[in-house]
Every structure is written in structure tokens, then in C-alpha cells.
Amino acid sequence: MDQRQKPESGGISRFAMECAASAATGAMGAAVAVGGLQGGIGWNEAGPEPGTFPFAVGLIIVAGSLGTLVQALRSRDDGVFLDAVRLRRVAAFFGPMAAFVALSLPLGLYVASALYLAGVMALQGGYRLRSAVPVGLGVAVLLWLVFETWFQVPLLKGPVEAWLGLA
């Protein structure tokens, strides 16, 4: 009966991804429409109430998401969206990046960048620590020079900068 080929183990089919994307955009549309309702969608002395426009936009998003879902169901593209190899590549890039963002909240951007760079170079790039650490520190110092000194735009700082007396 089922002639469709199941995607290989560990992979995600394009069809599943299309449906997931439609669901996500649809949910956002619904949230926007509800938010619009809270702002009021009637008419007052200043013209249309502030929620009118978001409400309409939210409804169009929901309708459009239904449209993309219908398209996905009709074409039923069972090609592979991400196989296991590619999924691993994406995760290997995204994981450290998310960790960098999480680390930069308590530690500040400079320290987190140095750690992130040195970490990725050492763990994924196969560099020895004696070259990874200087590169990480060097890029952090360069960032400092560009942002704090040259353009005078402050970046997020943490306890280390305070300890060094820089913040």
C-alpha cells in the first residue's frame, strides 16, 4: 500500500519539515491575531484602533499557513530535508554557537568569544591549545579595539572586565 519511501533513519523528510513550518507560522499568526484582539479592533475617534492591523495580519498569516499546509499535503514531497550526516553538521555548528550566546550573558561578549573561538578550534578544528588559545584571545582583543576604542560602542561586559578594571 504505502509506496512512499521512508526517509533514512536519523533523517527528517521534507514533507515533515513543510508541515512543521506551516504549524509554526500558523501558531505565530494565531498569537499575532490574539494580540491584536487585545489591542482592540474597533473604531474610535482616532480612527482604527491599534489592534486592527495586527489582527488582520495575524489572520492572513493563519490563512497562508493553511495554504502552505495544503500545498505540502498535495505535493507530499518525501525527499530528505536533512539526513543524519547533515543533521550532525548543523548540530556541530549550532550547539557551540548557542553555548556562546548562553555564556555571553553572564561572562560578557569578549570572554565568551575568546572561549568560543578557542573551544571550536581545539575541539572541532583539531588545533592544539597553544595555537587555539592565542587566536581566541587575539580576536577578543581585536574586537575590543574595534568596538570600545575605535567606534566607542560598548559591548556586553562581565565580571572579568570589572576585575581587570576595564568596565
Partner 1 sequence: MDNLAHLVDGFGTVLSGYHLMLMVLGVMLGILVGVLPGLGAPNGVSLLLPLTFAMDPVSAIILLSCMYWGALFGGSTTSILFNIPGEPSSVATTFDGYPMARAGQAARALTLAFLSAGFGALAGVVVITLLSGWVAQFALRFSSPEFFAVYFLAFASFVGMGSGSPVKTVVSMMLGFAFATVGMDTVSGNLRLTFGLADLIKGISFLVAVIGLFGIGELILTMEEGLRFDGIRARVGLRDVGRAMRELPRQWLALLRSVLVGCWMGITPGGPTAASFMSYGLARRFARRKDGFGKGDPAGIVSPEAADHSAGTCAILPMLALGVPGSATAAVMMGGLMIWGLTPGPMLFIDQPDFVWGLIASMYLGNVVAVALVLATVPLFSTILRIPFAVIGPVIVVVCFAGAYTVANSPFDMGLVLAFSVAGYVFKRLDYPIAPLVLAMVLGDKAEDAFRQSMIMSGGDLSVFWSNALVGSITTLGLAMLAWPLIGRLTSIKARTRRTAGAERPD
Least distance between partner 1 and beta carbon 129 (Å)? 14
- Which spans of this chain sit near partner 1 (rule: CB under 8 A)? 14, 17-18, 21, 25, 28-29, 31-32, 35-36, 39, 43, 46-51, 53-54, 57-58, 60-61, 64-65, 67-68, 71, 81-82, 86, 89-90, 92-94, 96-98, 100-101, 104-105, 109, 113, 116-117, 120-121, 124-127, 135, 139, 143, 147, 151, 153-156
Contacts of 110 (CB under 8 A, 6+ apart): 140, 143, 144, 155, 157, 158, 160, 161
Q: Shortest distance, CB of residue 166 to partner 1, whole angstroms?
A: 16
- 79-110 burial, b at 16+ Cβ within 10 Å, e below that, comes to ebbbeeeeeeeeeeeeebeeebeebbeebbbb
C-alpha 163 chain-centroid distance = 32
In this complex, which beta carbon is closest to partner 1, that of residue 1 or of residue 22? 22
